[in-house]
Amino acid sequence: MSEALLEVKQLKKYFPIRSQLLKREVGAVKAVDGVTFSLNTGETIGIVGESGCGKSTLGRVLMKVYEPTGGEIYFGGRDITRLRGAELKEHRKQIQMIFQDPYASLNPKMRVRDIVAEPLWVNRMMSKEEAYGQVDSLLTTVGLRPTDAPKFPHQFSGGQRQRVGIARAIAMSPRLIVADEAVSALDVSVQAQILNLMMELKAANHLSYLFISHNLAVVKHISDKVGVMYLGNMMEIAEKNLLYHDAKHPYTQALLSAAPVADRTHKSQRIVLKGDVPNPANPPEGCPFHTRCAQCKNICKVEKPAFVKVADMHYVACHLYGGEQVQGNAS
Amino acid sequence: MRKAIKRHMGSAVAWGALGILVVFAVCSLLAPVLTPYEANAQDIMNRLVPPAWCAGGSLEHLLGTDELGRDMLARLLYGSRSSILVGVLTAMLSGGLGVTLGLLSGYFPKADAVIMRIADIQLAFPSMLLALAIVAVLGGGFFKLVMVLGITGWVSFSRVIRSEVLSIRTSDYILAAQTVGVGQARILFRHILPNIIAPAVTISTFQIATAIISESSLSFLGLGIPPTTPTWGNMLHAGQLYMDSAWWISLFPGICIMLIVLSINLLGDVLRDYMDPKTRQN
C-alpha cells in the first residue's frame, strides 16, 4: 500500500453569522464540522451527500480557498493547515481543482491557449514561450485539437469546455485534483467521456482525486473509496464495494435506497427519510442525523457518535455499531 | 437572413456614426478655411439675422447671427474645438479614475469601505458647489475645467464598475485563476478588467455628453472657458434668452451636441460588440 498523500484530521470550517447592525458574531454555520479521512497516492475518494452537507466547502478548504477553522491537513506528510503567502502558492501547484460549471469556470474573454498556459508561466515553472509550447500537447492529452488553442470558451460545447478546465488543472502536473461536481452539469453521454478521461489521466500520471458529487452512480464508477457526508460530518467511509453493498450507517442506507437502479428484478425497499436537513447554524445535539433516523436510540440524542472501525477499510460514526475507536487516522 | 441584414445594418450605422465624427473633426480643424468670419467678430447692424432659408435671412450668414451679430456657423465651427476636447478629455480622466477606483473597491473590501464612503459624500454634495470650490482654489482655465469635470464624474463609473467586479470576483474562473497561483495584480487587470470594458465604454459615451453640457454651466458662471472662446455650451446658454425670437442661436449648438453624442454612443455600441468575443466571431 502506498503512502498517505492527504490526511485530514478533525477538519472544521465555520462561517460566522454576523448581526445586521453591529456586525457582532451571533453564531456560525458549521459547514464542515470535524471531518477525518485520508487518501493514498493514486487513489480516488468520492464524497457524497445532499446539497448543503458541506462537501463543496470541504473541497475548498482543502484547496485552501477558505481558511480552516480547526483541525489539520497533511499533504505528503507536511502540515499545510496554516500555509500562507509564497509557501501556499508553491503548495497549490500540487493540488488543482476541476469545477462544476464549465460555463462559469473559464474566463469568457480569454483564449484557450492563455487559459491553459497561464498556470505554467505565472508560477515561473517555465518561460512564457515554453508554456505556450506545452499547450498543444496538453490539449491533445485531454482530447481536444491543437487548432482549438486560439478559440474562446464560448465556441466549445459543455464537455469540451470541461476538457479545457481539465487541461488547466493538469498543466502543472499536480498530485491531487479536487473535482467538485465535475460532471454534474454535463449530459449523461458526455459525463461518461469526461469520467473516462479523468480515469485515463489518473492512470497515466499517478494522480489522486477527491471527487465530490451527489450522484451515487458516478461516484461508484470512479472512486476507490467513498465518504458519506451529512450536515458537515463524515458519517461513513468505506471501500467502494463495502459501502455500496454493506452500508452500515442508517443515513447511507437511506441514501442508497433512494438512488435509482437500472435493474427490473431489483426489489427496491426505499427508506424514506422524514423531515428536512436541520439548519447547520443550529445542528442537533448528539448525532447530527438523529432527528431523521429510524433507528434512533436515547444515546443518539445526547452524545455524538465516534468514528469506529467496523471492518477493514470501513469506518462509521453511529451508535449502532461498537468497535475500535479511531482517533483521527481513519484510512 | 435577418441576422445578415442586422449585421449589415449594424456596420452601416457604425460607418455613419464614424462619418459624422470625422466631419466634425475635420470642420473644427479647418474652421478658418471654411468660414470667412472670425468667431468673435461683432456686427451690431446685423444682429439676430435668421438662417438663410428663413424670411429675412441672407446667404452671407448661412445659419444666421446671434445677439451680437456674430456669425453662427463660424462660432459653431470654432466652438467644436473646445467642446469636443472638453468632452473627450473629461471622459478619459473620469473614466480612468472611476474604473481604477471601482476595480479596487470591488476587489478589496477594505478599500471599498473608504472609496465608497467618499463616493457617497460626493454624491450627496452638489457637484456644482464642489466644482466652484475647486475652481476657487485652483483658478479657472481649460485644463482646470477638464480636471474639475473629471473629478466630479468618476462616481458614476466606479459605482457601476464596482458592482460588476463584485459579481465577477466570486465567479469560478477567478477562483480558478487564484488556485493556479495567478497574482492579484494580474487577476485585477488581466482577468477582471477585460470583463468590465463594456460597461465602461457605455458610461464614457454618456459622460462625454454630460461634460459638454456641464462645461457650459461652469463657463456661464465664469469658471471655465472664458466667454471669448466660443463653445457649444456657452452658445446654448446664450441663446436661452432669445428662445422665442431667435431660436437658431441655441438650436444649432443643440443639434451639434446631439449629433456628436449620438454618434459616440453608436460607435460605443459597436466597440463594445467588437470587444465581446461572442459577437466578434463569424
What confidence tens digit (pLDDT) does each residue in A221-265 have?
Answer: 999 999 999 999 999 999 999 999 989 999 999 988 887 766 666
Rounded to a whole number of angstroms, the distance from the CA of B197 to the nearest CA of chain A is 11
What is the per-residue pLDDT for B90? 92
What is the per-residue pLDDT for A1? 43
Chain A contact for B278 (CB, 8 A cutoff): yes
Closest chain B residue to A155 measured between Cα atoms?
B278
Closest chain A residue to B279 measured between Cα atoms?
A154
What is the per-residue pLDDT for B108? 93
CA distance readout (Å), A61 to A11, A65, A77, A216, A226 = 9, 6, 18, 23, 19
**pLDDT tens-place string over residues B164-207:** 999 999 999 999 998 888 888 999 999 999 999 888 988 888 88
Chain A contact for B81 (CB, 8 A cutoff): no
Q: What is the ipTM of this complex?
A: 0.84
Residue B25 contacts residue B81 (beta carbons within 8 Å): no
Chain A contact for B139 (CB, 8 A cutoff): no
Name which of B164, B169, B179, B276 to mutate to probe chain A: the one with the most chain A Cβ atoms within 10 A of its Cβ: B179
What part of B 163-182 touches A (C-beta under 8 Å)? 171-182
Residue-number span of the structural domain to which B118 is assigned: 2-38+50-280
pLDDT band at A267 (very low <50, low <70, confident <90, very high): low
Q: Does a structural domain hold residue B176?
A: yes
State the amino acid at position B81 in one-letter form.
R
Residue A286 contacts residue A272 (beta carbons within 8 Å): no
Extract the residue ranges of chain B whose pLDDT is less than 50.
282
Q: Does a structural domain hold residue B45?
A: no
- With residue A265 as reference, give the H or E element that holds it: none
* CA dist., res. A164 & res. A182, Å (int): 12
pLDDT band at A328 (very low <50, low <70, confident <90, very high): very low
Chain B contact for A136 (CB, 8 A cutoff): no
**Strand order across the A225-230 sheet:** A95-98, A176-180, A208-213, A44-48, A225-230, A233-239, A314-317, A307-311, A324-325
Q: How far is CA A273 from the centre of its chain?
A: 24
Is the pLDDT reported for residue A66 higher than 50? Answer: yes
Q: Does a structural domain hold residue B44?
A: no
Reading the block at residue A184, the C-alpha cell is: 454534474
Chain A contact for B183 (CB, 8 A cutoff): yes
Q: How many CB pairs under 8 A join A and B?
A: 68
Could you say which of 3.30.70.20, 3.90.220.20, 3.90.79.10, 3.40.50.300 is the CATH number of the domain covering A4-94+175-262+275-325?
3.40.50.300
Rounded to a whole number of angstroms, the distance from the CA of A237 to the nearest CA of chain B is 28
Rounded to a whole number of angstroms, the distance from the CA of B12 to the nearest CA of chain A is 26
What is the per-residue pLDDT for B13? 81
- Tell me the Cα Rg of chain B: 22
Is the pLDDT reported for residue A314 higher than 70? Answer: yes
Cross-chain residue pair B281–A108, CB shorter than 8 Å: no
What is the per-residue pLDDT for B2? 58
Query: Per the structure, how many domains does chain B have?
Result: 1
Name which of A66, A80, A109 to mutate to probe chain B: the one with the most chain B Cβ atoms within 10 A of its Cβ: A109
What is the per-residue pLDDT for B143? 84
* CA dist., res. A124 & res. A196, Å (int): 31
Is the pLDDT reported for residue A329 higher than 50? Answer: no
Cross-chain residue pair A99–B176, CB shorter than 8 Å: yes
Is the pLDDT reported for residue A326 higher than 90? Answer: no
Residues of chain B in contact with residue A96, where contact means CB-CB under 8 angstroms, are 179-180
**pLDDT tens-place string over residues B96-128:** 999 999 999 999 999 999 999 999 998 888 877
- With residue A314 as reference, give the H or E element that holds it: strand A314-317
Residue B103 contacts residue B163 (beta carbons within 8 Å): no
Residue B131: give its domain's CATH number.
Answer: 1.10.3720.10
* CA dist., res. B211 & res. B170, Å (int): 34
* CA dist., res. B264 & res. B95, Å (int): 15
Tell me the domain boundaries of chain A: 4-94+175-262+275-325, 105-173
Q: What is the mean pLDDT of chain A?
A: 88
Highest mean pLDDT among A25-34, A46-55, A105-114, B1-10: A105-114
Is the pLDDT reported for residue A33 higher than 60? Answer: yes
